[in-house]
Amino acid sequence: MNNKINHTLSDNNNYQKIPTPAASVLLIRDADKKIEVFMIKRSMKTNFGGAWVFPGGKIDHEDVSNDYQKYSPHLDDSAASERLGIEKNGLSYWTACIRECFEESGILLANQIGKNLKNTILKENELETLSRFKDRILKGENIFYEMIDNLNLELATNELAYISHWVTPKIEKRRYSTRFFVARSTDQEAVHDGTEGVESKWINPEEALKQFKTGDFPMIMPTIKNLEMICGFTDTSELLSFMNNKDKNDIPNVEPVFEIVDGEPKLIRY
């Protein structure tokens, strides 16, 4: 079994000085008095290729809005920004998280206006519209928010819990400042996109960590540490409540430090 992860290491301090803002979501569901999380194996052609990760990606300019209220009536930018400890456009991490989740898993964390996510049931014609938009999005069209407008939906930003902030170490050439969230999945079928993601599965966090230790489930440090944070919970409601009620000062904010030793990266501290 080939468990190699594709890293693009910096050379002679040739690393990205300002990390790219990004968002990622631990999509969870209840399963036999345990929780499961949706994970995707990245294509070897991509950065961190070969690793199992959560859906996510960089913040696009479309995610930054002058009218956040239109798409997120239940969570405003000031509250989101305060939660992240930044001045403004914190809500763009929530909106990007939902967009990336849809692009990479097919799960749309959006509800009909006036309803919550649990009580939103899309009709057959709406699901067909969703599928058509998804095909166009996967071909590179930036039409996610057009799709939300078309279906008269709003983003379920208030149903995501912010859980950690990880910055890619300077040993990597391409660096990201990634905010991680956790959200309960819908009844839609989660499927990897077939391009950046080549495999996908629902897995119990403890089982994923067990398989990592035996070498059967390659992961990078932020994935491992975020999985550890959601271990021990028996249902999604308990987990979401716990994360939403955490003091913002208790939310991990991490940039690991590595050095090259004998040609291999060695963790110094995190």
Residue 4 lies in a domain: no
Closest to 148 measured CA to CA, from 71, 59, 64: 71
What is the bridge-based pairing of β-strands 52-53 and 34-42?
antiparallel
Q: Alpha-carbon distance 89 to 106, whole Å?
A: 25
Residue 35 lies in a domain: yes
Q: Tokens at residue 47, please?
A: 């950065």
Q: What percent of the chain has pLDDT over 70?
A: 89
Which residues lie below 8 Å from residue 129, measured CB to CB, with a gap of 6+? 147, 150, 151
Looking at the 3D structure of the chain, how many domains does it have? 1
Residue 8 lies in a domain: no
Residue 7 pLDDT grade (very low, low, confident, very high; cuts 50, 70, 90): low
Residue 253 lies in a domain: yes
**What confidence score (pLDDT) does residue 196 get?**
67
**Angle ∠(165,62,94) on CA atoms, nearest 5:** 35
DSSP state of 9: B
Residue 7 lies in a domain: no
Residue 207 lies in a domain: yes
Q: Alpha-carbon distance 118 to 187, whole Å?
A: 9
Please, which residues bridge with residue 2 across strands?
Answer: none
Residue 134 lies in a domain: yes
Q: Alpha-carbon distance 122 to 59, whole Å?
A: 27
Q: Which domain holds residue 255?
A: 20-269
18, with CB counted inside 10 A (0-12, 13-18, 19+), is: exposed
Residue 265 pLDDT grade (very low, low, confident, very high; cuts 50, 70, 90): low
Looking up residue 73, the CATH number of its domain turns out to be 3.90.79.10
Amino acid at residue number 24: S
Q: Alpha-carbon distance 56 to 100, whole Å?
A: 5
- Dump pLDDT digits (tens) for 157-184: 999 999 999 998 888 878 899 999 999 9
Assess whether pLDDT exceeds 80 at residue 22: yes
Amino acid at residue number 148: I
More confident residue, 71 or 42: 71
- Dump pLDDT digits (tens) for 105-151: 989 999 998 888 888 888 899 989 999 999 999 898 999 999 999 99
- Dump pLDDT digits (tens) for 68-118: 999 999 999 999 999 999 999 999 999 999 999 999 998 999 999 888 888
Q: Alpha-carbon distance 106 to 103, whole Å?
A: 6
Assess whether pLDDT exceeds 70 at residue 62: yes
Residue 9 lies in a domain: no
Task: Calculate mean pLDDT across residues 211-217.
Answer: 92
Measured between alpha carbons, how far apart are the two ends of the chain, in Å? 29
More confident residue, 197 or 153: 153
